[in-house]
Amino acid sequence: MKSEKKTYKGLQEDVRKIELPKVDVWENKYNDKKYTVSFNTPEFTCICPKTGLPDFAEIRIEYSPRKYCLELKSVKEYLMEYREIGIFHEHVINRILEDFSKVCKPYWMRVKGVFNTRGGITTTVTAEFQSS
């Protein structure tokens, strides 16, 4: 019996509509101060939408919280969901930035992904949010 190859075709068209877990926040009791929160995950994975092979990356997130901070367990669960998603590197980083900045409404946020070498090319994508 021939196994069916999973296809990721068309996912890039509605990348903003892909369902992902909700990211929780908690109230920042030091919202009178401007400070930076940084965290990273060196074991991020997603799927190449062209080949179906896994892509590996280190994702670094920095932000200056206002009223809310990101809750790390829900961040971990959110990021783990990408393991089954065929998505371009640029879309991953911009989607994370949109989702995280939407829930915590920071002064600013930066999401950077350093994707492992594939075909002799290492890809780094950085996206930023600045509140008005």
Residue 16 tokens, joined: 């903003």
Question: Smallest Cα–Cα separation from 115: which of 57, 76, 75?
Answer: 57
**Choosing from 14, 24, 48, 104, which is the catalytic residue?**
48
Residue 8 tokens, joined: 């990721």
The torsion angles phi and psi of 111, rounded to 5 degrees, stand at -120, 125
Contacts of 65 (CB under 8 A, 6+ apart): 28, 31, 35, 37, 104, 106, 107
Q: 39-130: what fold?
A: GTP Cyclohydrolase I, domain 2 (3.30.1130)
**Active-site annotation holds for 55:** yes
pTM: 0.90
**Choosing from 55, 69, 99, 104, which is the catalytic residue?**
55
Residue 4 tokens, joined: 């069916």
**Tens digit of each residue's pLDDT (9 = 90 or more) over 1-18:** 555 556 566 666 788 889
**Active-site annotation holds for 46:** no
Going from the first residue of the chain to its last (132 residues), give the mean pLDDT of each consecutive group of 10, the final group possibly shorter: 57 82 97 96 93 94 98 97 94 97 98 93 96 84
Q: Residue ranges of the domains in the chain?
A: 39-130
